[in-house]
């Protein structure tokens, strides 16, 4: 299972410097299930509305290719309990979603993020982090 945060998903929708390497990296892992939080349903269009409003029409199609997990009670509780005062709220939700999946017995190959603060928090939580092309 590969977890994508919203900044990683944006790189799949609009060309950024790391996009080609990221797509290649994903293509090298054809059997992996790609997952994210339902938070991406809000965060990705909001990010693209600022930077690339012309591609908003493909967001739903791209997200439909991922398994999305709800921001349920355990995820909210985990996100609220993080001690790292530099971990932003939305990043805490992504990290808590991944941690709860692993806690339920799912195997995580990588948590893909291009955000350095979130990557540090993911690593500190003991989860494998990747930023292909960075």
Query: Residues at the annotated binding site?
Result: 5, 91
Residue 10, Cβ neighbours under 10 Å: how many? 24
Q: What is the pLDDT of residues 67-121, one digit of tens each?
A: 999 999 999 999 999 999 999 999 999 999 999 999 999 999 999 999 999 999 9
Dihedral over Cα of 41, 45, 48, 53: its sign:
positive
Q: What is the pLDDT of residues 27-64, one digit of tens each?
A: 999 999 999 999 999 999 999 999 998 899 999 999 99
User: For 2-130, which CATH class?
Assistant: alpha beta
Query: Residues at the annotated binding site for Mg(2+)?
Result: 5, 91
> Model pTM?
0.96
Dihedral over Cα of 30, 113, 67, 19: its sign:
negative
The residue ranges of every structural domain in the chain are 2-130
């Amino acid at each position: 299972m590969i977890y994508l945060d919203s900044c990683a998903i944006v790189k799949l929708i609009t060309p950024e410097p790391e996009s080609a390497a990221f797509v290649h990296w994903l293509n090298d892992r054809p059997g992996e299930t790609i997952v994210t939080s339902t938070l991406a349903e809000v965060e990705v269009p909001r990010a693209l509305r600022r930077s690339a409003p012309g591609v908003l029409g493909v967001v739903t199609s791209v997200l439909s290719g991922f398994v999305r997990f709800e921001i349920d009670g355990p995820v909210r509780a985990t996100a609220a309990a993080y001690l790292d005062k530099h971990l932003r709220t939305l990043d805490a939700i992504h990290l808590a979603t991944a941690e709860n999946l692993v806690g339920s017995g799912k195997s995580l190959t990588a948590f893909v993020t291009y955000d350095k603060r979130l990557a540090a928090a993911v690593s500190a939580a003991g989860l494998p982090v990747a930023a292909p092309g960075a």
